């Protein structure tokens, strides 16, 4: 189906429903294999949610739709993988309706940041505006976009205090499904637990994007989401059947292999708005107990971002206080013009040590070696063919119990005349 058709259909449906494709139910027929991992209790809960959501769409509403509008409605309905436990979100909505200040935050990669679609007509801003206009006002409902291109959950967890929790969000959307790999699963799990454990008890919603190849971490992330009884929204569940049936092409959704265009972002926002409308039609659940243990049983929730503002550095060596990256301005950089190779030295006490550094395709950048108590433990490649000045996080050291160690970072042999940028560190207690 041509993009022109879908754009016209989107406009028609938005007018018909008041800035949304309408309320609806998750379509169990197209739910990804993550649903097969649910327990019997979870499956029962999902069925209950589906029944509630189906009741939200009256026969009159269904009969008033044209065939094309029904196709769009069905696509939006399929995006709602599960409503999860709604208690926290219902509480936030009640507070917003009472005129209280509410903050909605979004953390993720370039899709959340709005690459290919600008900063205004993107799913995060559009869904924020719907919430503010529906439940409160734009004076009392506040917007935080912590999307950062090319970053997975590991970096999201490292920067979460600075970029998200400092604003004390009441609602947090997490979108890392196409940026993550299996290596980021522990950080994703810990980011969720860290969010749910905040003192103000925010509502958390998981978003699962997809790229043209079909890649998404939805199955693994969905299993984690079910562990915490969270609402989950799936782009793949929604658009893949349309592409397979030939009613839609990937080019309708995106101008490249990954990022929704302005149209795709508007539809993405409809997926979230559909969740809100389905929520409105449901009764309030009892509060969900926070699990005592993380889904993956490895706790990184104490992750703390360390930079020049809070790290005691014994010696900067050949590095100076500079990073060259606006998203991490408080790091350290070894310039290519600095031919000495004196180590950057500090003391680490904890269980996991992450180094966040700048990756670039520039031949002026080289590799740096990490030493712990004088022993080489890791080599960081600051120059790669696919680097684009993006931040990269690597776990360079871990131990079962927190002990104090001396950490040194210096250029690898033969790279003393190269540059390297340390953006920050991640310390886990």
pLDDT, tens digit, 9 for 90 and up, residues 131-149? 999 999 999 999 999 999 9
> By the 8 A CB rule, do 91 and 319 touch?
no
> How far, in whole angstroms, is CA 182 from its chain's centroid?
15
d(CA 197, CA 153): 17
Specify the 3-state DSSP secondary structure of 49.
helix
Say whether pLDDT at 35 is over 90.
Answer: no
* Pairing outcome for strands 344-360 and 141-147: unpaired
The mean pLDDT value of the chain amounts to 88
Picking from 65, 15, 68, 25, the residue whose alpha carbon sits closest to that of residue 46 is 25
Residue 8: pLDDT band by 50, 70, 90 thresholds? low
CB 136 within 8 A of CB 97: yes
Query: In angstroms, what is the C-alpha Rg of the chain?
Result: 23
How far is the C-alpha of 353 from the C-alpha of 357, rounded, in Å? 13
Residues 99 and 322: their CA atoms lie apart, in Å, by: 43
**Lowest pLDDT segment from 53-67, 119-133, 139-153, 200-214:** 53-67
Beta strands in 116-271 (DSSP E): 141-147, 171-175, 203-208, 232-234
For the domain made up of 304-428, give the CATH fold. Answer: Jelly Rolls (2.60.120)
Measured CA to CA, the distance from residue 278 to residue 92 in angstroms comes to 15
Quick one: how far is CA 49 from the chain centroid?
24
Q: What is the C-alpha to C-alpha distance for residues 269 and 70, in angstroms, rounded to an integer?
A: 18
- Average confidence (pLDDT) over 387-414: 96
Distance CA 396, CA 112 (A): 28
Closest CA to 396 of 352, 349, 346: 352
Please say if the pLDDT value at position 48 is more than 50. no
For the whole model, what pTM was predicted?
A: 0.87
pLDDT at 200: 97
pLDDT at residue 367 greater than cutoff 70: yes
Give me the CATH topology for the region 3-280.
Answer: Rossmann fold (3.40.50)
Confidence at residue 17, expressed as pLDDT on a 0 to 100 scale? 42
pLDDT the model gives residue 100: 98
pLDDT of residue 16: 38
Rounded distance, CA 134 to CA 275, Å?
13
Domain boundaries, the chain: 3-280, 304-428
More confident residue, 327 or 54: 327
> Has residue 29 got a pLDDT over 50?
no
pLDDT in tens, 233-277: 999 999 999 999 999 999 999 999 999 999 999 999 999 999 999
Flag the least confident range among 9-13, 128-132, 414-418.
9-13
């Amino acid at each position: 189906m041509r993009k022109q058709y879908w754009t016209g259909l989107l406009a028609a449906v938005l007018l018909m429903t008041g800035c949304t494709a309408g309320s609806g139910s998750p379509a169990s027929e197209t739910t990804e294999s993550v649903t097969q991992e649910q327990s019997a209790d979870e499956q029962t809960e999902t069925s209950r949610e589906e029944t509630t959501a189906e009741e939200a769409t009256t026969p009159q509403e269904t009969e008033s739709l044209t065939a094309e509008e029904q196709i769009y409605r069905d696509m939006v309905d399929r995006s709602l993988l599960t409503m999860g436990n709604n208690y926290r979100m219902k509480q936030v909505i009640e507070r917003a309706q009472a005129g209280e200040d509410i903050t909605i935050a979004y953390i993720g990669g370039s899709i959340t940041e709005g690459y290919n679609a600008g900063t205004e007509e993107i799913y995060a801003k559009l869904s924020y505006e719907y919430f503010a206009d529906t439940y409160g006002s734009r004076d009392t409902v506040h917007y935080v976009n912590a999307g950062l291109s090319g970053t997975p959950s590991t970096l999201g967890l490292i920067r979460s205090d600075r970029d998200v929790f400092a604003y004390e969000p009441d609602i947090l959307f997490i979108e890392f499904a196409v940026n993550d790999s299996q290596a980021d699963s522990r950080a994703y799990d810990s980011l969720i637990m860290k969010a749910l454990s905040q003192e103000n008890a925010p509502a958390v919603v998981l978003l699962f994007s997809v790229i043209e190849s079909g890649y998404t971490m939805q199955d693994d992330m969905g299993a984690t989401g079910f562990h915490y009884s969270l609402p989950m929204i799936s782009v793949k569940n929604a658009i893949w059947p349309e592409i397979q049936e030939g009613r839609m092409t990937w080019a309708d959704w995106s101008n490249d292999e990954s990022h929704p265009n302005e149209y795709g972002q508007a539809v993405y926002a409809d997926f979230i708005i559909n969740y809100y409308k389905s929520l409105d039609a449901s009764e309030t659940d009892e509060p969900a107990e926070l699990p005592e243990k993380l889904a993956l049983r490895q706790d990184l929730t104490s992750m703390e971002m360390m930079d020049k503002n809070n790290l005691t550095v014994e010696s900067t060596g050949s590095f100076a206080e500079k990073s060259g990256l606006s998203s991490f301005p408080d790091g350290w950089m070894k310039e290519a013009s600095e031919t000495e190779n004196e180590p950057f030295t500090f003391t680490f006490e904890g269980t996991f040590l992450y180094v966040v550094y700048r990756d670039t395709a520039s031949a002026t950048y080289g590799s740096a070696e990490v030493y712990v108590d004088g022993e080489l433990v890791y080599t960081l490649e600051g120059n790669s063919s696919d680097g684009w000045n993006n931040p990269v996080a690597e776990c360079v050291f871990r131990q079962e119990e927190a002990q104090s160690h001396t950490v040194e970072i210096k250029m690898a042999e033969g790279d003393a005349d190269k540059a390297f940028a340390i953006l920050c560190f991640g310390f886990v207690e």
